[in-house]
Amino acid sequence: MRHSSVSSSKGCKLATTATPDMFSLFRATCDAAPDAPFLIGEDGAVLTYAGARARSAQLAHAFRNAGVQPGDRIAIQVEKSQTALLTWLAALQAGAVYLPLNTAYTIGEVRYFLGDASPALVLCRPADEPAMAALCAELGVPALLTLDADGSGGSLIEAAAGQPTAFDHARVQPDGLAAILYTSGTTGRSKGAMLSHANLASNALTLREYWRFTGDDRLLHALPIFHTHGLFVATNTTIAAGSAMIFLPKFDADALVRLMPQASVLMGVPTFYTRLLGHPGFTRELAEGVRLFVSGSAPLSAETHKEFNALTGQAILERYGMTETNMNTSNPYDGQRRPGSVGFPLPGVALRIADPDSAAALPQGEIGVIEVKGANVFGGYWQMPEKTREEFRADGFFITGDLGFIDADGYVHIVGRAKDLIIAGGFNIYPAEVEAALDEIPGIAESAVIGVAHPDMGEAVVAVVKVTDAGLDQTAVLAALTDRIARFKQPRAVVTVDELPRNAMGKVQKALLRETYGALFAKT
């Protein structure tokens, strides 16, 4: 993919003739605007691009001194902090492959990742050091460093202190490996998605243009940084544009409301938006200075989209991507941001809807599996050549496993994961359609629809709903659905809960729901 020269509003020219590697992208921004803010703390303290370059160079020396060579993996399981983010830039300078791990993973789960990826270095929380040291000894991981929760202490900080503030950036090829991100692995073994510099940099440059990022932007960052959304979509796009991030340790609606007047962009998962809508301090006036609200990682309900629009006058921009592909589609910057839709394929991304079995392309409007191809799409799963082959078509399209259709105007809609498809009495039922109908019922805050084994039907539809109206029981919900969706799609059981179980990215944990309610129709 070729990019022409683009100027940011600060007049810094980021000229790229071919997709650069990720560190070159960062360096180009540093050279163009060294004094521009990169990270802004909750207290307003600013770390400039030049400052971030110097600190990450020191961290890169610490990595190199610990034995990390270009191509080696660095596994990271630490709390979110500015230093934690700088380890990404440090790994890039050292030519290492970055492997961030969800902070919620137990030591038993981490064993699998370390055994699979054989990193040269592990960076962990100080409290985990004894258990991690034993694990590293068992698995032959040669180096272990620690970093504390606010990023100011730990053996990494000691190792970086006094190191040179410049690092001779390891030369890497654009198609060289930049990161391995393990998929959340709701079924079977978690797989390591291998992401190249070109995958990441091309997507960052595309998003910079599509979402109009400039050096004037301040992105309110409250996402975790072990996942593609907070680490790559937010951070790499910021770097590509020379923007700044107001960097919060975690999501906190009060902090978001307090800092929103300083921000021009918010990137969030749908839960951010439902929580903001429930916050008394979130008003139209507060949202006015924000030019762009982005949502992704899980479906944003059309109801939330409309409610947000009614309150603020602004339309949330929903986009769709995944760990393996970076971002695939986005609603338009100008033009209609359609509720319930993830928008159009991004420039450079080919997207088609295919029959899951025959792989034949399906006509517009029909539901099938979403397949994508482009510079954004990963090269394969770490040490899983067969799994990789299974998930690519012969012509190079990646089979996402998401089911969707393209409407008459070209907008892509997602109706669920292939594995979540419910087949009841021979009929296909798409959970997203039933969830949308449930969400429209006054008194239902949110819903999740699953298929549960049923003696007659094979599977039966079960709705798990969070209600704001305590009087809304199964009978009332089913009555409200009568004219909304066909009889065969209606739930056989409606369960009310206080909260839907969600993972760190706001995705409803349907596997957990299936486990909990799996025996609902079992014959006793």
Binding site residues, ligand AMP, CB under 6 A: 183-184, 228, 296-299, 318, 320-323, 342, 400, 402, 414, 417, 505
**3 state SS for 305-342:** HHHHHHHHCCCCEEEEEECCCEEEEECCCCCCCCCCCC
Residue ranges with strand state E in 296-411: 317-322, 326-330, 344-345, 349-354, 368-374, 380-381, 398-406
Nearer to ligand AMP, 298 or 476 (CB): 298
Nearer to ligand AMP, 155 or 228 (CB): 228
Q: How far apart are CA 435 and CA 15, in angstroms?
A: 46
Residue type, 184: S
Q: How far apart are CA 476 and CA 405, in angstroms?
A: 31
- Minimum distance between the CB of residue 104 and ligand AMP, rounded to whole angstroms? 14
- Minimum distance between the CB of residue 307 and ligand AMP, rounded to whole angstroms? 17
- Minimum distance between the CB of residue 342 and ligand AMP, rounded to whole angstroms? 5
Instruction: Say if strands 493-497 and 458-467 run parallel, antiparallel, or are unpaired.
Output: parallel
Nearer to ligand AMP, 20 or 224 (CB): 224
Nearer to ligand AMP, 496 or 503 (CB): 503
CB 206 within 8 A of CB 376: yes
- Minimum distance between the CB of residue 344 and ligand AMP, rounded to whole angstroms? 13
Tell me whether residue 483 is exposed, middle or buried, using C-beta atoms within 10 angstroms of its C-beta: 0 to 12, 13 to 18, 19 or more: exposed
- Minimum distance between the CB of residue 320 and ligand AMP, rounded to whole angstroms? 4
- Minimum distance between the CB of residue 458 and ligand AMP, rounded to whole angstroms? 24
Nearer to ligand AMP, 30 or 414 (CB): 414
CB 206 within 8 A of CB 347: yes
Nearer to ligand AMP, 309 or 474 (CB): 309
Nearer to ligand AMP, 299 or 374 (CB): 299
- Minimum distance between the CB of residue 331 and ligand AMP, rounded to whole angstroms? 9
DSSP label of 183: -
Nearer to ligand AMP, 49 or 411 (CB): 411
Torsional sign, CA 109, 230, 13, 40: negative
- Concatenating the DSSP letter of every residue in 484-522 gives TS-GGGS-SEEEEESS--B-TTS-B-HHHHHHHHTTTT-
- Minimum distance between the CB of residue 479 and ligand AMP, rounded to whole angstroms? 29
Instruction: Say if strands 398-406 and 412-417 run parallel, antiparallel, or are unpaired.
Output: antiparallel
Q: How far apart are CA 123 and CA 253, in angstroms?
A: 29
